[in-house]
Structure 1
Amino acid sequence: MKLHRNLVFATIDSLHLIFNENKQADKVLRSTLKRDKRWGARDRAFIAETTYDIVRWKRLYSEIAEVREPFDRPNLFRLFTVWATLNGIKIPEWKQFEDTPTRRIKGRFDELSKIRKYRESIPDWMDELGEKELGKKWDKEIAALNKQADVVLRVNTLKTTVEALQNELSDLEIETETIKGYPDALKLKERSNVFITDAFKNGLFEVQDASSQKVAAMLDPKPGMRVIDACAGAGGKSLHIATMMENKGQLIAMDIYENKLIELKRRARRNDIFNIETRVIDSTKVIKKLIEKADKVLIDAPCSGLGVLRRNPDAKWKLQPEFLDKIRATQKDLLESYSRMVKPGGDLVYATCSILPSENELQVKAFLASEAGKNFTLLNEERILPSKSGYDGFYISLLQKKA
């Protein structure tokens, strides 16, 4: 592979914003990729994938390159040099790459690969926490979380079928395959920008990881029910629930952030979904009005996001241990407060995109032992581990309230 100066420089600029200015990787890349209209799909893919790779392996690469944050421009070029060398790419004779110790890079890589926190490129505290909570499983899980995520679509069955969408995308030379056990999912065989297709603009699908699609399936909403998605965010799971309800009944999508609910409304319009009502949780009254009013409630709780690191590798560096204590307290409060909206005989699903027991089964166990949870029974729970599923790490539990 021949390196092109403008693509390498765009990658370096992106890394500067992510590492030194604490900007979100996906937002930085969205902006970088608009910089030059002459860039083709392959050029954009090079910038995006190289940037994400260097973000993912930041600790390992900076250890090999012997550089420390904040990274100045020469430091960023040294990180790039490590990436290129380990990927077998010939370093060009540019002044930015003078004195590249290629052999030393490979030697350091072999040496550091024996130590898990460097090999998997994670902070010390995260490595310690993973081992404490998951024991020997941590090795496999963190290795799986460092692999690039597949692109999975969820077919909007209100507007098309899996087969029809597969054919439509195939006509655009976007090849997909079905996934056993996931009735509405299609996986891309190769990465492609599906957002520019008419199929996406016409609401025939959403991009949603296979594990995430299991949440609505566990909730099992039926047409005509009143369902509440209590932490709806921008609504990926709300849209799935509404689809399963066939636009019949009422889905109340709630969140503390109004801008996320505005985005959900926009997505719902594109999907031809019109049984969603959004409500901003701006006081306790919003919940009180709905006590014992819902057939089913979903709490897709805010969490560490450790199960989706392959999708958001920069979260490894932004996440702090004290945030975890805070988020566990929030999860406990949400379970106690939002579970009150479930009718007697109704169902509650508690889900996170984390693989840590302290955010998952231990939260549910504590809830069931509490005053708020004494009327609930655990019917089912599923721990989805990336090493086994090949998809995001998730936890999903189904609880039923006594009639």
Structure 2
Amino acid sequence: MTKEEKKVNLRELSLLILIEVLEQDSYSNVAIHNTLLKYQYLEKQDRAFLSRLTEGVIERVIEIDYIINQFSKVKTTKMKAPIRNILRMGVYQIMYMDQVPDRAACNEAVKLAQRKGFYNLKGFVNGVLRNISRKKDEILWPDKEKQPKEYLMVTYSFPEWILNLWLTEYSYEQIEEMLKAFLEQKQTTIRCNQTKVTVEELRQQLLEEKITVKEGDYLPFALKISDYNYLKKIKAFRQGLFQVQDESSMLVAYTSGVKNGDYVIDLCAAPGGKSTHIAELLNKTGIVSARDVSEDKVAFINENVARLELSNLKAEVYDATELRKEDIGKADIVLADLPCSGLGVIGKKTDIKYKTKKEDIEALAELQRRILSQAVQYVKPGGILMYSTCTINHIENIDNVNWLLEQYKEFELETLDSNMPDNLKSSTTKRGYLQLLPGKHKTDGFFFAKFRRK
């Protein structure tokens, strides 16, 4: 290791990411990924510490600020950004990282404040964190019975407006179940590329690489992996033997009824999970036309296509809101996994809950309908339209299903049960749609519906 590599201060790296995400509105997955890419030489343990600390602060920032504000005369909103985030990091270590002694969390925060030029505030940082460390059992929490919504907001670090929305659609108990699930440690779910390897062969190869492997919860070709450094270091990933994809998303291609020789259009395909899955299910026949709105997104699809070695998938730049006349009535299957609020994947992209606004959801529902208006035209008579989102709001999901059925009488819902895992069958899958909820199901929050053109 070079002298430069030895100088890396993990807490300082975490601070830089937090400022980028919480103060400058960057996306956490991008900021963390870019940092880990830059410091690839870090040991597995150091990478894990950096990810845990950074993601933990982002995930629990409302709760952390609530704690700080009980012990500091200066409220977090009035603090300078570096100090605010140094304190947040200290509190997270004190409250949630047992392997870090409280004394070390305080001392490292003081050193970091000095390192960033805040010599005059080192006493303030030290005082606040040591006070929290001594009195963490005396923190006053909202009473669940008397302040039910405030209890959820603080306990699960959740914005009030989203809770207000969900309280009109789900029970309090169901919402708390989802919020608990969002905070649970996640394994990486992968889909075996069965054009190249069997599930058992993939499992054995991953085990040989000292990776922990578990079966998926619903699908025979899904596995869950953990205890690995990063994806590109896994030989099986580089060889194209698997694709990272949640089981909820895998269900779309799996229940579509795709058959050899089909022509499939995926309108908003990046990063290519559903496109590549349906290309695999086509058994080297047919064609998948995978489209997305930018060169960057299409490059991402092509990267996965090349790695998985799928010759029947072609990716191109195309705006899904514009009609491509030569495709009218040509597709056996159209996949419309549309831009959405993403509130179903908060467990994996924690900052979504802070970045999404109520007005965004209304605008997205309108965009979804604009794209669906084009999507229906591509479906041939007897063909299938699969509509999906990674969110759990009615306006983006079942409301759009009802809107489509009302606007386009030539479409009807088709049962999902012919290819649905038994432990997911319900009264709604029989009708043709499924809302997956974290906590209730062992997946992301996800919605999909299957329509057939009469």
Q: TM-score band, normalised by the shorter chain?
A: over 0.9
Residue 442 of structure 2 aligns with which residue? 390
2:66 aligns with one of 56, 63, 66: 63
Bigger helix share: 2
Is contact 1:149-1:391 (8 Å) kept? no
Shift of 1:36: 4.7
- Structure 2 length normalisation: TM-score? 0.83
Distance 1:182 1:357 in 2: 26
1:90 aligns with 2:92: no
Structure 2, unpaired ranges of 5+: 1-6, 70-75, 114-124, 415-431
* Post-superposition offset of 1:256: 1.9
2:262 corresponds to: 225
Partner residue of 2:86 out of 54, 77, 82: 77
Distance in 1 between residues matched to 2:232 and 2:90, nearest whole Å: 32
Residue identity over aligned pairs, in percent, reads 29
The residue aligned with 1:17 is 20
Judging changes above 3 Å, is the alpha-carbon distance between structure 1 residues 367 and 282 closer, same or farther for their aligned structure 2 residues? closer
Sort the Cα spacing of 1:75 and 1:172 in 2 relative to 1 into closer, same or farther, 3 A: same
What does 1:364-379 correspond to in 2, within 5 Å? 364-370=401-407, 373-379=408-414
Q: Given the alignment, which residue of 369, 381, 395 partners 2:433?
A: 381
Is the 1:134–1:356 contact (alpha carbons within 8 Å) kept by the matching residues of 2? no
Q: Does 2:340 match 1:324? A: no
Conservation of the 8 A alpha-carbon contact between 1:174 and 1:192: no
Q: Aligned equivalents of 1:295 and 1:215: distance in 2? A: 15
- Distance in 1 (alpha carbons) for counterparts of 2:278 and 2:41: 41
Taking the aligned partners of 1:302 and 1:285, their CA distance within structure 2 comes to: 15
- Could you list the per-position Cα deviations for residues 46-85 of structure 1 after superposition, in whole angstroms to 9, with x for gaps in the alignment? 1011100100111111121121277522221211121112
**Per-residue deviation at 1:274?**
1.0
Shift in Å at residue 345 of structure 1?
A: 0.7
Alignment correspondent of 1:108: 139
Question: 1:288/1:36 Cα in 2 relative to 1: closer, same or farther (>3 Å)?
Answer: closer
Question: What's the counterpart of residue 50 of structure 1?
Answer: 53
Q: CA deviation at 1:262?
A: 2.1
Tell me, what secondary structure is at the counterpart of 1:152?
strand
Residues in 2 aligned to 1:360 and 1:283: alpha-carbon distance in whole angstroms: 18
- The superposition leaves residues 268-298 of structure 1 with CA deviations (integer Å, 9 ceiling, x where unpaired) of 1111101112233258765222111011111
Tell me the SS of whatever aligns to 2:363: helix
> How many Å separate the matches in 2 of 1:227 and 1:31?
34
- Give 2:11's aligned residue: 8
**Aligned mates of 1:156, 1:167 — CA distance in 2:** 14
- Mapped to 1, the partners of 2:48 and 2:81 lie a distance apart of 25
What are the ranges of 5 or more consecutive residues in structure 1 without an aligned counterpart? none
Question: Counterpart amino acid of 1:389?
Answer: H
Cα deviation for residue 385 of structure 1 reads: 1.1
User: Looking at CA atoms only, which structure, 1 or 2, has the larger radius of gyration?
Assistant: 2
1:366 CA drift (Å) = 1.4
CA distance in 2, matches of 1:80, 1:308: 24
1:90-122 CA deviation, whole Å, 9 max, x = no partner?
232353551121244443364477611111111
Given that residues 145 and 310 in structure 1 are in contact (C-alpha distance below 8 angstroms), is that contact kept between their aligned partners in structure 2?
yes
Runs of 4+ in 1 over 6 A off after TM superposition: none
Distance 1:258 1:5 in 2: 34
Q: Which residue of 1 aligns with 2:116?
A: none
Task: Give 3-state SS (helix, strand or coil) of 1:134's partner.
Answer: coil
Q: Following TM superposition, by how much is the alpha carbon of 1:26 offset from its aligned partner in structure 2, in angstroms? A: 1.7
Whether the 8 Å contact between 2:218 and 2:247 is mirrored in structure 1 is: no
Go from structure 1 to structure 2 and tell me whether the alpha carbon gap of 1:135 and 1:217 turns closer, same or farther (over 3 Å shift).
Answer: same
**Do the aligned partners of 2:292 and 2:320 also contact (CA within 8 Å) in 1?**
no
How big is the shift at 1:175?
2.1
1:132 Cα offset (Å): 1.6
Q: How is 1:207-356 mapped onto 2 (pairs within 5 angstroms)?
A: 207-282=244-319, 286-356=323-393
| Pairs aligned (count) | 397
Would the aligned equivalents of 1:386 and 1:393 in 2 still touch at CA under 8 Å? yes
Q: TM-score, normalised by structure 1?
A: 0.93
Give the whole-Å Cα distance in 2 for the aligned partners of 1:112 and 1:127.
Answer: 17
Provide the C-alpha distance between the structure 2 equivalents of 1:391 and 1:217, rounded to a whole number of angstroms.
15
Q: Which amino acid aligns with 1:217?
A: Y
> Any idea what SS the aligned residue of 1:145 has?
helix
How far apart are residue 386 of structure 1 and its match? 1.0
